[in-house]
Chain A
Amino acid sequence: MSLHILLVEDDRQLQRQLAAQLSQFGHEVQTADDGREALVLLGQHAFDILILDWMLPHLDGIALLRQLRDNGMNVPVLMLTALGQIPDKLEGFEAGADDYVVKPVDALELNARLHALLRARRVTEQPTDTVSAGDFLVSPSRVLAWRGGQVLNLSRTEFNLLLELVRADGAVVTRAMLIERIWGHDFVPTTNIIDSHVKHLRAKLIQHGHDPIGTVRGIGYQLRA
């Protein structure tokens, strides 16, 4: 999926590198050095997503974001922050940010989050409660999951893991995203805890068909059709 991205970052080196990496993933990237330039570009083009640095000259990221939301601009926003500090994050979410990546930015993590963010936007527009991907059907409210019409017997954690993978619908879900969404933690364990949980989930899923979970080495997991 190719996205039209506006990247607002005052660190020229990081801006160049991120733009190059995102282009490698097939996205079309436009850049701005500060908030004012970003506002001008936002007025001229329709972007799929806005990547916004927190600290910017002239008009900082949060102020820009508030201005956008006040003007009714609904473009999804992913913020880049220096430190993963809780008070900062809360302030950002209140201002209308959709997600975060803490610097230094891992391009693969960023790409995975961009896709997840756009999908989440689309999913919330669906009126139904269930999510589906391939032969999987998951109902978050009833905490039930089916594969090919058969009910799966999963633990709570396994269920949540599957839900995230199904929501991503084939896109990569990183370990950090899983830790954040399943347990709500802002730290990444040093051991392979996520891998262990995935292993247990995989063992249960292959009882009902082929192995549906693909491992993207060094990044995370994705659902294979």
Chain B
Amino acid sequence: MKGTPRSLRGLTIAFLCLFLTVTTLAGLGTFFATLSMINVLVDKRIAFESDELAPAGTDIPRSELASRILHLTGQRDTGDLGLLLTDAQGRTIAGNTRFSRELPLGFSSLSWQDRIEGLSSGRVFVRDLHGGMRLAVFAETEPIDNYFSIRKLIYITGFGAIVLVVLVGLLMFRRLIGQRIEAMRTTVESIIDGDLSQRVPIVGDSGEFDQQAAAFNRMLDRIGQLMSEIRNVSNNISHELRTPLARLRNELALLEQRSDAEPVRVELALATAQADDLLGMFGALLRIAEIESGARRAGFRPLDVDVLIAEIADMVRPLAEDGNQHLIIGPCEAGTLVGDRQLLSQLVHNLLENALRHGQEGTTVQICAMRRGDTITLVVTDDGPGIPAEQRSLVLRRFGRIERRGSGYGLGLPLADAIARLHRGTLTLGDAGPEGGLEVSVVLLI
């Protein structure tokens, strides 16, 4: 079905084109059909009058013809006819008209260019009679003056009104359908953004659109139910694993405190730290699940991004000092946005912590924030090793670490990404500069 319009706009245009073509053709068709019908009738009439005047095969004398013409022009029902009888030299014998040109034999058309008084359009029939005489009979094809242009006006107004009504109806129809589709699209967009609570509005007319919207909403209810079941299962798994792990960790920590644990204290501390790592990992997974459920949107409040950055920078500064790294704050000119303070703090914290942790001694980490239109862009750059372009999508996946050394569970960036998405934003990784280094840009809607 190549070439068939699929979009609402395409269908509207195709229908309009077809409708206009058919209407124009129909208009022109009827216009010219009536014109030619009039011509046929007028031709019949002038042929009949011509034959009445001088029946074929008879040799009516010249004087008799002249008197018949005179008589005809005086009659009420033939008074509108134009008659001209000429001799072999073209001189007028009798008639009530003259022609400015020589007319061909048989039927032909006359127009205002023939400069016949009172005639704007007509048909003429010319035939040869005996003795070189020639008889021309003509009649008007217009019952009134300017009939043609008036008829044109009537056609244009009539068909134009039809076209206008159809056009307006079509546009209204298109707008109505467009609005309903737009409502559905907006709902779908919200759901893509993680807000599964959105539903397609129902007008209440029980029409096809309402029925479709209701079916769509039922589908969303079902998906929401399934998603929450899946979430519950994964949350339960994390919980179930976390509980015994926490017990184990407690036992280890308590053991470490005991006086008789001295010979294995280092090993116990190591085991406790490993249990802490595992607990942290489950905690981060549960946190991502909590963020992705979208429940925290309910707690969104206006907050000052610049203040938040300053607070978090203050919190992580000792890390930079311990690692002999430089932490540069600013420029921060972002202003306020509506969001979750805890989560945005964690986002900024994760990005700074990540940059500091992966940078060597002496590296510089910078954070700045600016406002562009209705978005706020947060950029964290470092002059560390950076991440090769082909591995960037990997590190945004859960447990997608590209190196095994060092701390971290491979959940810091996925968590930051989930927080950005909760705020209808994006997180992208890039090069900080030509010499390498990582740049993390977070764009958030205010």
Q: Which residues of A contact B (CB under 8 A)?
A: 14, 17, 21, 24, 82-83, 85-87, 103-108, 156-157, 183, 185-193, 196-197, 199-200, 217-219
Contact = CB atoms under 8 A, between A and B. Distances in A.
Contact of B342 (A86, A104, A219): A86
Interface in B248-299: 249-250, 252-254, 256, 269, 272-273, 276, 280, 283, 286-287, 290, 295-296, 298-299
Contacts of A157: 314-315
A24 B254 contact: yes
A106 B235 contact: no
12 contacts: A82-B239, A85-B296, A103-B242, A104-B246, A107-B250, A108-B253, A156-B314, A183-B311, A192-B319, A196-B319, A218-B253, A219-B253
Interface in B297-341: 298-299, 311, 314-316, 318-319, 321-322, 340
B155 interface: no
B183 to A, nearest CB: 29
Given A83-B290, A189-B353, A193-B319, A218 B245 contact: no
Given A86-B296, A157-B315, 15 more contacts: A82-B239, A103-B239, A105-B246, A106-B246, A106-B249, A106-B250, A108-B253, A108-B254, A187-B345, A189-B349, A190-B408, A191-B319, A196-B318, A199-B318, A219-B253
A197 B346 contact: no
B353 A191 contact: yes
A218 B256 contact: yes
Interface residues of B, number: 45
Contact of A193 (B256, B311, B315, B412): B315
A77 to B, nearest CB: 22
Interface of B: 235, 239, 242-243, 245-247, 249-250, 252-254, 256, 269, 272-273, 276, 280, 283, 286-287, 290, 295-296, 298-299, 311, 314-316, 318-319, 321-322, 340, 342, 345-346, 349, 353, 357, 407-409, 412
Contacts of A190: 280, 353, 407-409, 412
Contacts of B273: 218
A26 to B, nearest CB: 13
A191 B299 CA distance: 27
A183 B342 CA distance: 10
A196 B319 CA distance: 6
A32 B243 CA distance: 20
A45 to B, nearest CB: 27
Contacts, number: 95
A129 B380 CA distance: 41
Given A187-B342, A189-B353, A196-B318, A104 B272 contact: no
A218 B276 contact: yes
B283 A188 contact: yes
Nearest to A192: B319
Q: Would you list the 10 A-B pairs with minimal beta carbon distance, nearest first?
A: A196-B318, A104-B246, A104-B243, A218-B272, A218-B253, A104-B242, A187-B346, A107-B250, A86-B299, A186-B342
B293 to A, nearest CB: 9
A50 B318 CA distance: 38
Most chain B C-beta atoms within 10 Å of own C-beta, residue among A193, A199, A218: A218
Most chain B C-beta atoms within 10 Å of own C-beta, residue among A17, A21, A87, A217: A217
Contacts of B269: 217-218
A103 B243 contact: yes
A21 B280 CA distance: 22
A29 to B, nearest CB: 16
A108 B409 contact: no
A104 B287 CA distance: 14
B268 to A, nearest CB: 9
Nearest to A158: B318
A108 B247 CA distance: 11
B95 to A, nearest CB: 107
A17 B247 CA distance: 9
Contacts of A105: 246
A197 B295 CA distance: 33
B239 to A, nearest CB: 7
Most chain A C-beta atoms within 10 Å of own C-beta, residue among B250, B252, B299, B322: B250
A210 B288 CA distance: 44
Nearest to B349: A189
Contacts of B239: 82, 103-104
Contacts of A200: 318, 321
B166 to A, nearest CB: 55
A183 B250 contact: no
Given A104-B245, A183-B311, A188-B283, A217 B256 contact: yes
Contacts of B296: 85-86
Contacts of A14: 243
Contacts of A186: 342
A86 to B, nearest CB: 5
